[in-house]
Amino acid sequence: MTLFLVSGAIGAGYGAARSPLPGQVLNNASSVFYYSDGRTEIARLGAENRTEVSLAQVPEHVQQAILAAENRDFSHDSGISAGGILRAMWADVRGKPVQGGSTITQQYV
């Protein structure tokens, strides 16, 4: 029991010493949205703590996990999810919370 408490206290102290204080922004960056010409800015949203990385820096298993969470059929769908669109429409008709029916392909094309 004593070992557990001492270990917990050391871990908490280490975490508190290494964590930035609330309100400290390490990398203040906004999300910038552009028109299809790639130059004309539409909007700039938020200031968040983030670090930009290239796709090559993101491990393959993390890329696959994101794809699986967003669209489990991504690797073999046609780019349009009729079932997803119908599900979202049915939820809208019933007044349920907003749902998305688009695939990743539809969002980026």
pLDDT tens, N- to C-terminus, the chain (109 residues): 676 666 666 666 665 566 666 566 556 677 888 999 989 989 888 776 667 788 899 999 999 888 888 777 777 777 777 788 888 888 888 888 777 777 777 776 5
Which residue from 104, 43, 53 is spatially nearest to 79, judged by alpha carbons? 104
Is the full-model pTM beyond 0.85?
A: no
* 33 & 58 share domain: no
Whole-number pLDDT of residue 97:
76
81 within a domain of the structure (yes/no) = yes
d(CA 106, CA 78): 10
The count of structural domains within the chain is 2
* 33 & 43 share domain: yes
Whole-number pLDDT of residue 57:
94
- What are the backbone angles phi and psi of residue 64, rounded to the nearest 5°? -65, -35
* 45 & 78 share domain: no
* 60 & 109 share domain: yes
* 47 & 32 share domain: yes
Q: Which domain holds residue 88?
A: 54-109
Whole-number pLDDT of residue 12:
60
* 34 & 61 share domain: no
Whole-number pLDDT of residue 64:
87
